[in-house]
Each structure stands twice: as C-alpha cells, then as structure tokens.
Chains A and B, each alone.
Chain A
Amino acid sequence: MLEIKNLVVQIEDNRILNGLNLTVNDGEVAAIMGPNGSGKSTLSYVIAGKEDYEVLDGEILLDGNNVLEMSPDERAAAGLFLAFQYPLEIPGVGTMTFLKACINAQRRARGEGEISTPDFIRKVNAAADKLEIEKDMLKRALNVGFSGGEKKRMEILQMALLEPKFCVLDETDSGLDIDALRIVSEGVNALRAQGRSFLVITHYQRLLDHIVPDTVHVMSKGLIVKTGGKELALELEKSGYADYRSEAA
C-alpha cells in the first residue's frame, strides 16, 4: 500500500528526516511513536504534500505511484488523507459547503459524477450520528468555535466521507478527553477494512488501547529505529524513549 524509501527532508537547512524507510501493507494499522522532535509531524506533512518542506531524496509510493510528484489535492484524490493535529478554523466557509466541495472535487478528479444532494445529506447525517456530532455543528463555519474534541471528530467525519485508501492520523489523541478519545477511536476502527491502511502517529500508548495497531515503529532523529508488534508500545510506556534517543545519535 504505502512504501517510503530513503526519505530525506529538511526545512530551512535543518535536516528532519534522514533516510527514513517504512512500509505499511494493505489493511494494516501501523503506529509511529517517538519523542518530541523526532520528525513524526514532519513525516505526516510530507506525506500530505505541505510546501514548506524540502525533499532532498527518496520516494513515497502509494500503490506504486510516487506521491511526491503530486500536489496535495492530487494526493487526496489518489486516496491519501491526513487527519490534522491542529485542524484549522475557516471563518465564512460553511461546513456542509466544504464537505460537499471536497467530495465532488475528489469525484471529479477520479472521473466520477458529482454526488446528488439527497445522497450527500444522507451520508453526512449517518457519519455524523456515529461520531456523535450534533447537526448544529454542521451548520456552522468549518471548525470555527469548535472545541478541540469537536475538531478532531470533524476530521474523522471527513475521513469517513472521503473514504481514503491511506489515512495518516497525526496525534489525533492530543486534546481529547476520555469520552472523545473513545468516540474518535470507534470512528477510526469502523473504517478499518481491507483496501485501507492507517498510519497512527502518537506520543502515548493510550490511543493504541483503543486503536490496536498491527505494527509499532519507533522514530527518533528522523529514522525508524525499531519495529515490533503492539507489545512494543506497552514496553515504551514503561521504559520511555531514553534508549532510542541514544541509539539514533
């Protein structure tokens, strides 16, 4: 599904990723854990195509196609989705208008027709119910005045509606209370399927109690320094990141 080969990235002359390699298979949920400053968020932005980062070397292949040659919208149409750590507020853009524009833009890019309004409303309502998103929120401007938890739920709603192949969740657990964490995790788990993979980026093992990963990778200083099963997360929770800081140095 997703293959990252020898990825080297810098921002303003600071090397962040140093030849990172990672493979996530079809249907797999991979978790990336690591200390602050290890390059986790950079990785998520580079996958999604944010302009500020300079890719010096390497490839990111989604089903064999190098996404580094695509603009962010082309990547989204190809099936990539990034759930932002800090979803942005967009005053003046209605949530429903935004959702419909996104769905239709992706459909157009794939050569499909636009979604009908009744179908659209039905889909949004069904997805919103699952995520316990109140209808009133959908009538407001996108993310404006939403709480942290509401914003994260809105990210998962978008993910559910856009039906991506590969989802990157960038610290989706940050700023969530216990109930919101459960709701968001259930939303993600409901989307787990063959043909869809996840890269879950987190500091804490807590999220992985709810979204149980198939593989866990430890990232430090811009490299994957250890890979294991879900038990690796538990190990890290006990021992901390100290070992890996020195290992990568």
Chain B
Amino acid sequence: MADIQNLRSAAETRLSSLFESARQSFASEEKISREEAFKFFEATGLPSRRVEAFKYTDLRAAIEDAAHPAKKPSLDVAKAAVSAATAFAGIEAVRLTFVNGHLIGELSDLDRVPAGVTVTPLNEAMSQGDPLLKQLAPVAQTRENPIYQLNTAFLADGALISVDAGATVETPIHLRFVGTGETAFSTATRVLVTLGEGAEFSFLESHEGQDGVAYQPNDVVDTVIADRANLHHTRLNREGDKAVALSTITARLGAGSNIESVNLVFGGVLSRHQIYLHFAGENATATVNGAAMLGHGRLADSTLLADHAAVGGVSREMFKTVIDGDSTGVFQGKIIVRQAAQKTDGKMKSDCLLLTDDGQMMNKPELEIFADDVACGHGATCGAPDEDLLFYLMARGLPKPIAESLLVQAFVGEAIESVTHEGARDALIGEVEGWLKTRG
C-alpha cells in the first residue's frame, strides 16, 4: 500500500524555505529550541479545520502564502509609523516600541524603566545566553500548538521584563506594537514577564497596523507569576483590515498569585488570541476577559486553556462578542481540573450580540475534571439586542442607533469593567465608543 502523505500547501513549503535561510543567523548561545519547534510545525503544518482546535479558524485556508519575516525598519520609517499610532497614547506609561516586530530602542523608554523592574531586549538576552530565557514557554501545552511553535522557530525580537520580589510598580509598561509597510511581512516577537514573590505589576499591549496590507504578526507573551504576586494585563488589537493576527499569552501561576487579563479585539481580517493558564501553586486566581467587536467579514477567535493543577484555584472567564455584518466570532474554552486540584472553582461564559442576521458565532466550551470536589461551570448565549430594552430607551427619546449603541456598550462593558488600571479601562471604553461611531 502506498504511503499517504498530506500535500503541503504553498505557504507551508515557503515557511520551510524561510526557516532554512533564517537558520544561518541564529546565535549558538541563544537557548531557543528553534529546530525542535520547527520540526513540530513541519510535522503538523498549518492547522486546517480538520484539526479540532482549529475547526472554526482554518489557518491553512487563511494563509495562502507565508510572508517574509520583516527586517528591522529604519528609524525614520519607525518614527513615521509610531507617530500614527494612537492606542493607549494618553496613558502615562513606560513604552517599549516594536515596529514590524523589532524593538526600536530610540523610540522606547529603556532609560526610564521603573524601580524594581529590569528590561532586557530579547536579542541582547539571546546573544548573552541570559538565564531568564530558561523561563520561556512556562505552560507545557504550548508545545502542541503550531502557532506558538512557529513563533519559537522564527523568533526575531522581544524583551524580558523582570519584576523584583515585593516590588509594587505603579507605572505600567506599554508594549506598543506597530506594523508598517506596503507589502506583506511577518513578525515573531516574544515578551517574557516574570514577577518575583509578592510583586505587583501592570502592562499594556497595543497592536496597530495599516489597512490594506496582508501582514502576519505572531506575538507571544509568556508570564511567570511567583507566589502571591499580582499581574494586570490589558491588550488591544487594532490590527489592519487585511492582517492575519496570531497571538498567545501564557501564565504560570504560583501559590496565592493572581492574573487579570483583558483583551479587546477590533482588527485583522482574522485574529486568533490564545490564552494558556497553568495553576501551579495553590489558591491562585485568574480573571480572563475578552471582547471582540467585529464588522466587515472579520473573524476573531479566542481560545483558552485553564489547567488547574493545584488546590483551590479560582478562574473566571468572560467573553463578549459583538457581530455586525457577515463576521464570525469564535470562542473555545477548556478548563482542566487535575486530580490534585480539589476545591477548584472555575466559571466560563461566552455571550454574543448579533446586530444583523448575517453573522455567526461558534462557542465550544469544554470541561475536563478529574477531581471530585470542584465547582466548574460554563455558559453561552447568543442573540439580537433586546427589543423591549430598545423600546424603553427609545420611549425616553433616544433614537434607535443611540439606544442600540448604549446597549452594545453595556454588553461589552461587563468584560472591560475588571480592568484595574483606570486609564487603561477608560481607554478601552473610548475604543468601544469609537467603534460604535464608525458603525454609524
């Protein structure tokens, strides 16, 4: 019998040749397992809808051709791109600016890093074999994920942010990602955030890019949160309308630690945001919320894995999707409770508001529970704005578009409310209002 082999797509063939030519530039000291990562990727290829985890987000179909990794832009090009970037601009923060996936030192506040925090550019860390690199990829399941492994294989730049034990850092760090260019390009960045015991730290992430260019960002943030430390993360996706935007955040949670992560998505013709939580220590808590506001045939996928491996973990996940026109929302959430993780309390919810009849929402919640004393639940809803509420608001003089906007704002607001940093919360609310205005 002849061997059956999957035909490789043009994009997969191209990725292999791109990796081949990139190979020469890898430093031997860098401690990044690129070869292993690419080997995994080559074996799986770009996931299609036949792969369960990508059933609703077919990357093989979406990525017809793999774009060339972006080179570091000139300072002038970077400056021009950054001057057009407005996300989180009003917030007082220490900024790390990445243009086309490369850290631009001249446009970053590397000399203003708050006390208790150390920032090392990833390239510097890799060439020196920084011991912190050992902490990359803190959640085991990412090894099975082609997006994550592709990032590892092509990793070009990033930063290591390390917060001292006991430090309470008031000023947030803003990771500002800006994409610019006339033709397609790809990026692969990695930021590692480590918090020492009892530390408290906030960081913001914004992703902006040009419309009309089919660029392919693949960004990963790894976080390692030591016992009793507290991490706040706010993310904004305002990628360009042709971008295929892949992103992952991982968190390894120590005992009594906490993470709060909120992601607001507008952009990309396709976006997939992956969240991997590993509850390593007892009594850790996580609040992970997401909101997506989609129009013009976009697809936004939020895929979450919460792995409870220790006693008393609490996870709360709330995802809100607003769908206008023929757009598609995807939510896949999986809670695993291992046998040792008694008293786990996990709740996951995905709500969708359909503003027209053309859109669709795919919800796939999964619970895998091996412990016997846990409270876990999930729920999903989908529907049009409530006619009775609309009538009530209109009967008070609000024209229908305003009444509807108010209801949409309230719907999305629930997911944003949990953002602790006031400036970031207000900025997200402003972004929501902005989207509603452009909708007319």
A197 within 8 A of B: no
**Is B397 touching A73 in the complex (CB atoms < 8 A)?**
yes
Residue of B nearest to A89 (CB): B389
Residues on the B chain within 8 Å of A105, using CB: 396-399, 402
Given that A91-B410, A91-B414, A92-B409 are known contacts, is A102 also in contact with B391, CB under 8 Å in the complex? no
Contact string, B113-141, partner A, CB cutoff 8 A, digits 1/0? 00000000000000000000000000000
B18 within 8 A of A: no
**Is A158 touching B396 in the complex (CB atoms < 8 A)?**
yes
B184 within 8 A of A: no
Most buried by A among B397, B398, B410, B413: B397
- List residues of B (384-407) whose CB comes within 8 Å of A's CBs: 387-389, 391-400, 402-403, 406-407
* A71 CA to B396 CA, complexed, in Å: 11
Residues on the B chain within 8 Å of A97, using CB: 406
- List residues of A (75-115) whose CB comes within 8 Å of B's CBs: 75-77, 81-82, 84, 87-88, 90-93, 97-98, 101-102, 105-106, 109
Q: What's the A-B contact tally at a CB cutoff of 8 Å?
A: 75
B435 within 8 A of A: no
Given that A92-B410, A93-B410 are known contacts, is A51 also in contact with B387, CB under 8 Å in the complex? yes
* A93 CA to B389 CA, complexed, in Å: 11
Query: How far apart are A85's CB and chain B's nearest CB, in angstroms?
Result: 12
B411 within 8 A of A: yes
**Is B410 touching A90 in the complex (CB atoms < 8 A)?**
yes
Given that A92-B409, A93-B406, A105-B402 are known contacts, is A87 also in contact with B396, CB under 8 Å in the complex? no
Residues on the A chain within 8 Å of B398, using CB: 73, 101-102, 105
**Is A98 touching B406 in the complex (CB atoms < 8 A)?**
yes
A50 within 8 A of B: yes
Residue of B nearest to A52 (CB): B387
Given that A51-B391, A72-B391 are known contacts, is A90 also in contact with B407, CB under 8 Å in the complex? yes
Residues on the B chain within 8 Å of A73, using CB: 394-400, 403
**Is B395 touching A48 in the complex (CB atoms < 8 A)?**
yes
**Is B407 touching A102 in the complex (CB atoms < 8 A)?**
no
* A48 CA to B388 CA, complexed, in Å: 13
A49 within 8 A of B: yes
Residue of B nearest to A143 (CB): B392
Residues on the A chain within 8 Å of B414, using CB: 91-92
The contact of A90 among B392, B397, B402, by CB within 8 Å, is B392
Residues on the B chain within 8 Å of A101, using CB: 398, 402, 406
Given that A92-B411, A92-B414 are known contacts, is A49 also in contact with B395, CB under 8 Å in the complex? yes
Residues on the B chain within 8 Å of A162, using CB: 396-397
Given that A51-B387, A101-B402, A105-B402 are known contacts, is A76 also in contact with B410, CB under 8 Å in the complex? no
**Is A102 touching B410 in the complex (CB atoms < 8 A)?**
no
**Is A88 touching B389 in the complex (CB atoms < 8 A)?**
yes
Contact string, A201-242, partner B, CB cutoff 8 A, digits 1/0? 000000000000000000000000000000000000000000
* A98 CA to B395 CA, complexed, in Å: 12
- List residues of A (43-82) whose CB comes within 8 Å of B's CBs: 48-51, 71-73, 75-77, 81-82
**Is A76 touching B396 in the complex (CB atoms < 8 A)?**
yes
Residue of B nearest to A158 (CB): B396
* A109 CA to B409 CA, complexed, in Å: 23
**Is B392 touching A87 in the complex (CB atoms < 8 A)?**
yes
- List residues of B (4-40) whose CB comes within 8 Å of A's CBs: none
* A129 CA to B185 CA, complexed, in Å: 62
Query: How far apart are A89's CB and chain B's nearest CB, in angstroms?
Result: 9
* A205 CA to B105 CA, complexed, in Å: 78
The contact of B395 among A82, A91, A92, A109, by CB within 8 Å, is A82
Query: How far apart are B404's CB and chain A's nearest CB, in angstroms?
Result: 12
Most buried by B among A81, A84, A101: A101
Query: How far apart are A58's CB and chain B's nearest CB, in angstroms?
Result: 20
Query: How far apart are B364's CB and chain A's nearest CB, in angstroms?
Result: 26
- List residues of B (142-189) whose CB comes within 8 Å of A's CBs: none
Residues of A within 8 A of B (CB): 48-51, 71-73, 75-77, 81-82, 84, 87-88, 90-93, 97-98, 101-102, 105-106, 109, 141, 158, 162
Q: List 29 A-B contacts (CB under 8 A).
A: A49-B391, A49-B395, A51-B387, A71-B399, A73-B395, A73-B397, A75-B395, A76-B396, A82-B395, A88-B388, A88-B389, A90-B392, A90-B393, A91-B410, A92-B409, A92-B411, A93-B406, A93-B409, A101-B398, A101-B402, A101-B406, A102-B397, A102-B398, A105-B396, A105-B398, A106-B397, A109-B399, A141-B410, A162-B396
Given A72-B391, A92-B413, A109-B399, 15 more A-B residue pairs with CB atoms under 8 Å apart are: A48-B391, A71-B394, A73-B396, A73-B397, A76-B394, A81-B395, A87-B392, A90-B393, A91-B410, A97-B406, A98-B406, A102-B398, A105-B399, A109-B397, A162-B397
